[in-house]
Amino acid sequence: MLIHPWDAGDGEEWRAFATEQGFGHLVAAGTGRRRPVIVPTQFVLDGDVVLIHFARPNPIWGALAENPYAVLSIAGDWSYIPSSWKAIGDEDPAAAVPTTYYGAVQLSGIVEIVDDPDGKVRLLRRQLAELQPQEQVLDPSQHPRLLPGIRGIRLTVDDIQAKFKYGGNVDETHRLAVADRLAERAGPGDAAAREHLLRRLEKSPT
């Protein structure tokens, strides 16, 4: 994806975003396929390793067998910014250009498929500890009849693309005007977009 310098995210930023979102699309291109296999999925980020599991019939296994390099695409906290919001003072609202604010992270790397029962149990334990730490549940090892029906994925990240498109190409006054409009509208995604805008403005104002 295109990432302008003012939209680029650092390690602390992309990791916090990916962890908070917790849901993305795993993309496996395979080789010689007309289209890649794209699977929506919950995930857990464990250091620089992405942990996922899928049912054994999932079509992604064939693509990974052909090519084990995959991409986890994560996007969220998006908000549409009408053109008039980008005009302040004597500027003509009709001449302003609308945009969409959003965060996006793409984590790429080699996939290791986890098929052995002990490995799957360890992966599931880590996922449960992250996703529902307060829930009292049986240990995954107590589901021996279910374990054969899944396979685990450990994607070791070797490339990170992080983009946080929240008005970094305009000055502070214009960004604060949009922040006020986001607070007024308070629609889905607006609060998160406003938080990103203000955080990035404080971090590196234009």
- What is the spatial distance between Cα 59 and Cα 69, in angstroms, rounded to a whole number? 15
pLDDT of residue 140: 96
- What is the spatial distance between Cα 56 and Cα 151, in angstroms, rounded to a whole number? 6
Give which of 152, 58, 158, 35 is closest to 106, Cα–Cα.
158
pLDDT of residue 124: 97
Residues 6+ apart with CB under 8 A from 95: 87
**pLDDT tens-digit readout, 68-109:** 999 999 999 999 999 999 999 999 999 999 999 999 999 999
What's this model's pTM, rounded to 2 decimal places?
0.93
- What is the spatial distance between Cα 119 and Cα 125, in angstroms, rounded to a whole number? 10
Nearest 5°: the CA angle 68, 72, 76 is 170
Residues 6+ apart with CB under 8 A from 59: 37, 39
Spelled out in words, what is the top-level CATH class assigned to the domain 5-201?
mainly beta
Sole residue written with tokens 């992966």 = 123
Please list the residues that pair with 160 across neighbouring strands.
107
- Give 8's DSSP letter: B
- What is the spatial distance between Cα 78 and Cα 46, in angstroms, rounded to a whole number? 25
CB atoms under 10 Å from CB of 188, counted, come to: 10
pLDDT of residue 203: 79
Q: Taking all residues of the chain, what is their mean pLDDT, rounded to a whole number?
A: 96
For residue 206, pLDDT beyond 70: no
| Domain ranges, ordered by start, for the chain | 5-201
